[in-house]
Amino acid sequence: MHLKGKQIGFALPEGHFSMPDILTEVKKLVSAGADVYPLFLATSEQPEIDSQFTEAKKILEQVTGREMLTTTLADEAGETSREDINFDIMVIAPCPGNFLVRLVNARTTSAPLSKTVRHLQEGNPVVLAVITNGDSESLLQNVEQILSIKSFFLVPFGPVDQGGKQIYLARLDLLAETVNYAMQDRQLEPVYLEPCWLPH
């Protein structure tokens, strides 16, 4: 991997802290020599801090050797934080559907989203690991718009049946590889995976 010495902002969204595959991919990035900075991605004005978050925060700080940035109020976007550095690349994993829509609409209602938008304005890459349910046509339209924006890269994803309900899930085991490709301004292909390619 071409990640040695690269500074990676790794954002985990509110309510999505119980996915062990994420931790495995963070470890891959650290092992490849990257400097990983864990970020808390607020998706509400009053983010829920529960035991899952506390445990994920503890583990991520141990793996990365860095304190997680937990300031999530919108006014942080205008302040200079000790963690407010220019990342070489940002990762949002998993990226829920509502945040994908907000990125498409370029809304900046939370600090981490503002940080992401500023990062994009500087022309730096952002990797998204989609996880969402709902209307597939709307999702694919948003994905198409995202891929048309320079510097956005997606972890390959596809439909999965979960309890009789179809969701769209990124192949999280391909996250580190997608980051490596993105650092070379390349998209890991194919982006859309058929169900048989996804883990069961």
User: At residue 16, what are phi and psi to the nearest 5 degrees?
Assistant: -130, 60
pLDDT at res. 16: 61
Distance CA 59, CA 27 (A): 11
pLDDT tens by residue, 32-86:
999 999 988 766 666 566 677 778 888 889 999 999 876 443 333 444 444 466 7
Instruction: Concatenate the DSSP letters of all residues of 75-128 into one string.
Output: GGGGS--TT----SEEEEEEEEHHHHHHHHHT---SHHHHHHHHHHHTT--EEE
User: What are 87's strand-pairing partners?
Assistant: none
The b/e string for 150-164 (b: 16+ C-beta within 10 A; e otherwise) is ebbbbbbbbbbeeee
Q: What percent of the chain has pLDDT over 90?
A: 28
Three-class SS of residue 65? coil
Q: How far apart are CA 135 and CA 67, in angstroms?
A: 37
C-alpha dist (Å) from residue 1 to 10, 178, 180: 17, 10, 6
Higher pLDDT, 159 or 142: 159
d(CA 15, CA 47): 9
Give the model's confidence band at 107: pLDDT under 50 very low, under 70 low, under 90 confident, else very high: very low
**Would you call 159 helix, strand, or coil by DSSP?**
strand
Q: What is the pLDDT of the chain when averaged over all its residues?
A: 77
- To 10 degrees, the CA torsion angle through 22, 28, 31, 34? -80
Q: Give which of 135, 132, 138 is closest to 167, Cα–Cα.
A: 132
20-34, 40-54, 97-111, 120-134: which range is least confident on average?
A: 97-111
Residue found under tokens 């169900």: 195
Cα 9 to Cα 36, 39, 46, 168: the distances in Å are: 6, 7, 22, 24
Q: Can you tell me the distance from the alpha carbon of 52 to that of 42, in angstroms, rounded to the nearest whole number? A: 15
146 or 157: which carries more pLDDT confidence? 157
Q: Dig out the tokens for 15 from the structure.
A: 């309510």
